[in-house]
Structure 1
Amino acid sequence: MPNIPSLRVLNYFQLHSRETKLKQQYLANRSSNDGYNLQDAGFSLIELIVVLLLVGILAAIAAPGWAAFVNRQRINKVNDAVFAALQEAQRQAKIKKLSYSVSFQRNSTTQNVEVAIYSTDAAIGTWTWKPLAADVGANSDKFLLGGNLSGENIANTTTNSPVSYPLSTSAKITFDYMGVLTLPNNFGTVAAGTEPPGLKIVVAVPSSANPTLASSVKRCVIVKTLLGSMVTAKDNNCS
């Protein structure tokens, strides 16, 4: 009489072996019938070219907008630095009870735009020049620094082009020991019933056609009153 457990084990292995063969036959038939082969998995050259073209088109569309955003952020930070420099000079004048000035220059060696805050009693050459907004790479090829100053606390009265680039190193803004503008001063001449332009320090993005000219993207700090009140403005209000 046959051993029942042994027959069950034999039948199990026979069934398992048959299932394994059926799976192998199915996979072999599938590879040849439906065109799928593990060795052929991946992207074709045409697919890669299409993807690269799409990426290039999207980059070309997005690049101008991104560049404009970066330029706006840069001049915003530089304008903040100009505003902070003027406020610091005014604050030092009040604290130390001395006249304090703010001057700007473009370093001919490094091409960095620099700012100096100093007492008017300090001898020329003892001022400490510091890069303006150095954290955003503030050099002349990334922005233009201009203004409407023709002298110390004097606004340019030229009607055609009151704001000039670059800002003259002889132009500066000075506060007296009370933090108000020293005399003489002039906020510019205007038509009757309109407000004087004030003393403007302007930061502008260079024109793409001519980097020595300012584009329409501008930021500025305006000293509007004898008391040294300051506001910030942008674009057409900085012209």
Structure 2
Amino acid sequence: MRFSCAYLSKIRVRKKSSIEGYTLLELLVVVFIIGSLSAIAAPSWLAFLNIQSLNAAQNEVYRSLQEAKNNSVHQKLTWQVSFREQNEISQWVAHPQTVNSTLLKWHDLSSKVQIDDAETTFTQSSGVWRVQFNFKGNVNGQLGRLTLSSKDGGKAKRCIITSTLIGAIRTAKENRSPQNGRFCY
């Protein structure tokens, strides 16, 4: 069997292209670029996730306060929302004031969130913060705030504030300058 020169040159070209690829240097440059971009983006992504956890926890606490306020009006009883840190997990429970909170099922907030002791001003006893709403839905003279911060650090804070005696509840986040020694107002 006789092959022409043109046919043999095509075979050689195919063989040559099948063993070609990227050099080690080219692969290292690509890996370096991907690593650099990841190092730049990772902290921003983690901060974004922390803020999302704080926002979700803030919404959950806000809803728990609204639930207690609504229940106090509908049932004509004093309702309370209790907060605590148990096994490094922040928890809450809404219940009538006459019911012992230790007997109830507590709801966990995100494991990435903690209650900021320094900025929380709700009434506290035995490691449990509480706020009460009377039969009219008014705060029982206990104005204050619950401040949440990230366990991973950072300056992001979220707070839930009972700001008037008639039971107004609002949310806020960290500010650049403190007011009365607190950054969340």
Q: TM-score range by the shorter chain?
A: 0.7 to 0.9
For residues 115-146 of structure 1, the C-alpha deviation after alignment (integer angstroms, 9 at most, x for no partner) is 111101214533331212xxxxx22xx22213
CA displacement, residues 162-183 of structure 1 (integer Å, 9 cap, x when unaligned): xxxxx9734310000111112x
Letter in 1 for 2:139: L
Residue in 2 aligned with 1:201?
A: 146
Equivalent pair of 1:105/1:168 in contact (CA under 8 Å):
no
Contact kept, 8 Å, 1:149 with 1:172, in 2: the verdict is no
Of the three residues 142, 161, 184, the one matched with 1:222 is: 161
In structure 2, the residue matched to 1:233 is 172
TM-score (ref. length: structure 1): 0.65
- Once residues 60 and 6 of structure 2 are traced to their aligned partners in structure 1, the CA distance between those partners, rounded to angstroms, is 74
State the SS of the aligned residue for 2:156.
Answer: strand
CA apart distance, 1:207:
6.0
For structure 2, list consecutive stretches of 5 or more residues without a partner in the other structure.
176-182
Q: CA deviation at 1:47?
A: 1.5
Name the structure 2 match of 1:149.
Answer: 121
Partner of 2:170, secondary structure, is strand
> The residue matched to 1:116 in structure 2 has which SS?
strand
Query: How far has the Cα of 1:81 moved from its partner?
Result: 0.7
Q: How does 1:95-134 map to 2 (within 5 A)?
A: 95-108=74-87, 111-123=88-100, 125-132=102-109
Asked if 2 retains the 8 angstrom alpha-carbon contact of 1:202 and 1:219, the reply is yes
Residue of structure 1 in register with 2:73 after alignment: 94
Which structure is higher in strand share? 2
Query: What's the offset of the Cα at 1:40?
Result: 2.0
**Alignment match, 1:80:** 59
CA contact (8 A) 2:95 2:101 kept: no
Contact 2:89 2:114 in 1 (8 A): no
Q: Tell me, yes or no, if the aligned pair for 2:72 and 2:78 is still in contact at 8 Å.
A: yes
Consecutive unaligned residues of structure 1, counting only runs of 5 or more, are 1-17, 133-137, 153-166, 188-198, 209-214
1:119-198 alignment to 2 at 5 Å?
A: 119-123=96-100, 125-132=102-109, 138-139=110-111, 142-146=112-116, 147-149=119-121, 151=123, 169-182=127-140, 185=141, 187=143
Residue 31 of structure 2: aligned partner: 52
Residue-pair matches, total = 176
Root-mean-square deviation (Å): 2.7
Q: Which has the larger radius of gyration?
A: 1
SS of the residue 2:127 aligns to: coil
